[in-house]
Amino acid sequence: MNAASGKAIVTGLPHSGKTSKLIERFLHSLKERPGERRVVIVPDASHRDYLRTVIMQRGALRALRESEVLTLAEFLRGIADEAGLLDGRRMTSLEELLAFRRIIHGLNSAKEADIPLTLSAARQVKHMVEALRNAGLFLKLLPGNEMPRLPARGAIALKAAVRHLWAMKASQRYDGLLAQELAVLALQEGRCRELLPGLILVDGYYDLHPLHETALAAIAPNARSFFMTAPDLPGSAQAMAFALALRRFGLEEILLEKPANSAVKLLGAVAEVKAAETFTGVAAVVAVQAEGIELRPLPTYIKEAQFIAERVLALHRKEGVPLDEFLVILRKTDARFVAALRHHFREAGLPLIDLTDSSESARAARFLSSCFTFAANPGHESLQRLVHTSCPALLRPSHALFTFLRRMGLFLDAEGMKTFARDNEAEVFAALLDRLVSIKGTDKGNTEWMRNLLAALGREFITALEPHLGDAVRNPIELAREQAALESIMEATASLVGEEMDGDELPALLAEICLYAGGSSRELGAGGVYLVDALAARQWQKHVCFVPQADRDHWPQGREDLSSDEDALRTSPELAGVRLRSPEEHFAFEESLFLSAVTRSTKLTVVTYAKREVEGNDIAPSPFLSLLAPAVGKLGGTTPPAHESSFVSRRALMRHCAGALRYGESAEITKEAAAGVLAMTGNSERASLFARGGLEAEPVGQPFAVPEALTPSSFSPSALTAYRKCPYLYFALNLVKPGDPPESLQEGITPLAVGSAAHEALQEAFAGFPDKADISGIFRKRLAAYAAKCAPLDFPLELERHWAVWEYPLRRAYESAFERLIAGRAIVLKMEEDLRADFADTEGRTCALHGWIDRADKMPDSSLAVTDYKTSDMSGFSSKASEGGQARFGVATAPHIYTMLAAAIAGNDVEKAEFSYHLLRENLKVTLEPAEDTIHQEDGVQAIVESLARSITGIRMGHFPRAPHSSCVDCDECEAYWLCRRDLFGEPLPNEVEERFPEPPFKLAKEKLE
């Protein structure tokens, strides 16, 4: 990299080596002119830390002076310091917020606008003032101290800015921006030139706000040697605007050679899409991939997190990508997504290094904040928050506690809570409430007194929390973190001593300070997958990058800090010359950030987005995806292979094998490999059946010989139901045996888990019959065990919801069944048992029917009542017949088989058996009987037996035609479509179930079990 003048703008596409050129220059200067002063200037701290590491690695340096890599803000503040431009000391960020809070307090217009006296409001105003100052306001104000004419709107921010300037001058306390502004002013006026290092390298900028643009424009001509990088992002309006701004520096331009990589091709395609008139900015986004890029719509953010963890694991294990060569890029830190990512990385045993700024307050800070919020405003909300933050240190979380909170709702008050606490052995919490309520009677404005109370509460809380702080390893770390938080809170509140404060104001302010000052430090580490925000990611380059949450909520990021007031400022004609970023510029900036994120990888970028929220609402994709998806299409986009989670990988493998063996056309797996895999799964009979061609060898319409070893000798209701839904479906699922069904897309606690917990609870409760059991307690315990295996997100609430939904119906169902057994002097004979009965097919060959029953009771009259619990509701039955009405029950074989099994176990000491369903939710007993009026009952039973026998003969004969029962299966949705290749058969398929296995109609009888 050379320029005749020793000054240049180095422009290039991503991966063209712009930063490397600067590093080379830096290292050259270090080696050749060690005495030279040099600096690399970058936009923010994460770039600085990253670049320091890279320079040390490339130069094999053992140390690097801190002053040699700085942010521009640090560099300018250094110049102001050295030049003695400022007297006094720099404020802390909390002091700045308190200063703005005082300014709001004194501004009539702020009072009129009803701006609250909180630190959050102060932060909003501070951000607005900073926007004005970054736009160069003080550069105009400082020299002559002139007041600009106040605009009609946005006056609050402008007045606050001017008052802040006066206050800083008067108090000799300044903020970070004032130091920069004074340094820029000095450089503009030609002062402080001697303080500039000989070599100045500027890297990592994608845009510049006017203050920094002015600063660099003043530095560039005064430096002996000045090189600055500028990204070339075809298709990005922001990058073009940035390049134009730099041209005004009047420096030579060095254009780096275009690298031939996928990122460059992608950017080229993006530019083409943007230029094409057909681009509307709106497009449906589907899964698509091209060289080096993949777009993956996934159901929810939880699935995105799971997908990333599984993909990282697969690439690391199978392709040897080192873990620190993965990068996950977020636009906005979303705590729920980060929690999901952490969970799935932990599950996969992968280290995740979170470099996003998501500091969460320490628990002591949250507790203290809730104490003073309650003291300031003792309402139901603040009390509820206090209860939450007090658990588990001062209050044991229990079902009774949260039921109480939910029941009281808006009527929750300190007195009721105290009574509850005392009744539930929570004296410590009751005493805490007494202390906080008594603050009302004291001098709430006495800062010293309140600080002492704060310190005492903090110490007591940490002592009580200690036994709950994780294991022996985590405990000391967590404890130190809590103590450090309390110390910094005490330090932060020291600045309040001596301040005059309204009695009501002080507790509210203390509550906020606790949260601000009690944050935790960021977790740092090495050797793991990095999680960074998109701004920081602009300098990173890794083999594989993930860009999750590419939806409208996250890309572009909203302008939450500067909302309507900033718009007012921007449009105010009186502020001409103080130009703030327009919405279009903001959008362009976000777009450039997105394009930068998707071009960070050297091998593969995977962009994911969630199609819906966990609650079910649809989420729109990011507008930038509507640009990226067609661009990927232009690069020859193809559909990426369906993502199979590890849970279903065996099923997927079997599916591929079966498909390959049958048709030999799978690109991914050869017939030989498929046969090998099938053989490895333990069944060479099945492997050879498929290796010979499987059904390919089947004469049309003729049964084929199924090897004896593959023919089942016993049949469950679900297997026979599958055969009667579609014989080919039975073949695909039961002979190919692809494994368990795919995981449900439902997040959290599934209906299956709830059903299993209810079944187990009833089993445990009836195990002690005739003693009565606490069914609710057992159910809660069982469901909690299932929930613990699910994703932990929103788990307590979801668990609460399921308990609340099921507690009453389950208790009612249990108690009514219990009372009936007692009244009928019955005994519980069997529970959760696999009943079996011999059966003969139409050719007289014997086999077994079997099925699990939930409970069988022996009645005093020697009859047997067999019960199957159902957690689903009546709708499944109602769709077929109303009470007393008649219906064919289609292909469903379970009621018939269970009735036959129950009758079969009626032996010597049991005279007859009856089968019924117990619908737990509705507490209904449902029985099916052959309809008497159309057919003689015994004939009806015989017809069912024959129908089942024909089905079993069909399976044994290898009769597996494609014959879907149209009202039960839909070929388009069928899981076996891949093997059956329904698409090869254009004609309508026969419904053989109806033709070959007719059934007599049945009658539905139901009885309420109250």
- For binding to ligand SF4 (CB under 6 A), which residues are involved? 726, 728-729, 732, 962, 964, 969, 971, 974, 976-977, 980, 982, 989
CB of 724 to ligand SF4, least distance (A): 12
- Residue 985: CB minimum distance to ligand SF4, A: 8
* 1 Cβ contact partners less than 8 Å away, ≥ 6 residues apart: 8, 10, 21, 22, 24, 25, 227, 254
Q: How far apart, in whole angstroms, are the C-alpha atoms of residue 930 and residue 729?
A: 28
Q: Residue 570 CB, nearest distance to ligand SF4 (Å)?
A: 60
Q: How far apart are the first and last CA of the chain?
A: 88
Spatial separation of the C-alpha atoms in residues 948 and 849, rounded to whole Å: 10
- Which structure tokens are listed for 752? 């299956």
Choose between 402 and 728: whose C-beta lies nearer to ligand SF4. 728
Token pair of 675 as six digits: 């046969």
∠ at Cα 994 (989, 999), nearest 5°? 165
Residue with tokens 């000054």: 7
Closest Cα to residue 829, out of 867, 778, 779, 798?
867
| In the complex, least distance from residue 786 CB atom to ligand SF4, rounded to whole angstroms | 32
Residue 656 or 965 with smaller CB distance to ligand SF4: 965
What angle, 0 to 180 degrees and rounded to 10, lies between the N-to-C axes of helices 937-957 and 894-904? 110
CB of 982 to ligand SF4, least distance (A): 4
| Of residues 730, 664, 723, 725, the one with CA closest to residue 969 | 725
- CB nearer to ligand SF4: give 495 or 991: 991
Least distance between ligand SF4 and beta carbon 960 (Å): 9
* Tokens found for residue 46: 């994460």
Q: What is the DSSP letter of 521?
A: P
Shortest Cβ 269–ligand SF4 spacing (Å): 37
Closest distance to ligand SF4 from the beta carbon of 675 (Å): 22
Cβ–Cβ < 8 Å for 543, 321: yes
Least spacing, CB of residue 733 vs ligand SF4, in Å: 9
Q: How far is the CB of 961 from ligand SF4 (least distance, A)?
A: 8
Query: Which residue's CB is nearer to ligand SF4, number 948 or number 974?
Result: 974
Nearer Cβ to ligand SF4 (74/992): 992
Using the minimum distance from each CB to ligand SF4, give the nearer residue, 283 or 989: 989
Closest distance of CB 996 from ligand SF4, Å: 15
Contact 826, 859 (CB under 8 A): yes
Closest CA relative to residue 575, chosen from 130, 177, 123, 153: 153
**Interstrand relation of 886-887 and 912-919 (parallel, antiparallel or unpaired):** unpaired
Helix (H, G, I), strand (E, B) or coil at 287: coil
In whole angstroms, how close is the CB of 394 to ligand SF4 at the nearest point? 59
CB of 706 to ligand SF4, least distance (A): 16
Q: Can you say whether residue 68 is alpha, beta or left, with left for phi > 0 and alpha for psi between -120 and 50 degrees? A: alpha
Half-sphere exposure of 534 (CA within 13 A, CB side): 26
C-alpha 729/C-alpha 954 separation (Å) is: 13
Pick 550 or 689: Cβ nearer ligand SF4: 689
Cα–Cα distances in Å, from 645 out to 311, 639, 649, 749, 946?
9, 17, 6, 18, 42
Please, are residues 690 and 678 in contact by the beta-carbon 8 Å criterion? yes
Share in percent of the chain as helix, strand, coil (round to 5): 50, 15, 35
Paired sense of beta strands 863-870 and 846-858, if any:
antiparallel
User: Which of 537/726 has CB closer to ligand SF4?
Assistant: 726
H-helix or E-strand spanning residue 423: helix 414-423
The residue (of 79 and 980) whose beta carbon lies closer to ligand SF4 is: 980
Which residues, 6 or more positions from 699, have their beta carbon under 8 angstroms from its beta carbon?
A: none
Residue 588 or 732 having the CB closest to ligand SF4: 732
Please count the other Cβ atoms lying within 10 Å of the Cβ belonging to residue 869.
19
What residue type is 572 in one-letter code? S
Looking at the Cβ atoms of 408 and 969, the one nearer to ligand SF4 is: 969
Minimum distance from residue 695 beta carbon to ligand SF4 (Å):
11
In whole angstroms, the minimum distance from the beta carbon of 975 to ligand SF4 comes to: 7
Rounded least distance, CB 987 to ligand SF4, Å: 12
Query: How far is the C-alpha of 757 from the C-alpha of 775, rounded, in Å?
Result: 11
Closest to ligand SF4 by CB, 556 vs 659, is 659
In whole angstroms, what is the distance from residue 714 CA to residue 956 CA? 11
Distance, CA of 469 to CA of 517 (rounded, Å)? 21
Which CB atom, from 216 or from 658, has the smaller least distance to ligand SF4?
Answer: 658
Is the Cβ–Cβ distance between 299 and 612 less than 8 Å? yes
CB of 976 to ligand SF4, least distance (A): 4
User: CA–CA separation, 914 vs 451, rounded Å?
Assistant: 74
Count CB atoms within 10 A of the CB of residue 984: 8
Nearer to ligand SF4, 457 or 980 (CB): 980
Nearer of residues 653 and 736 to ligand SF4, judged by Cβ: 736
Q: Are 836 and 901 in contact (CB under 8 A)?
A: yes
Which is nearer to ligand SF4, 226 or 728 (by Cβ)?
728
Smaller CB separation from ligand SF4, 911 or 970: 970
Cis upstream peptide for 770 (omega within 30°): yes
* CB of residue 703 to ligand SF4, shortest distance in Å: 16
Distance CA 557, CA 502 (A): 38
- Could you tell me the CA-to-CA distances from 537 to 303, 528, 852 in Å, in that order? 23, 16, 56
Which one, 151 or 958, has the nearer CB to ligand SF4?
Answer: 958
- What is the C-alpha separation between 530 and 794, in angstroms, rounded? 25
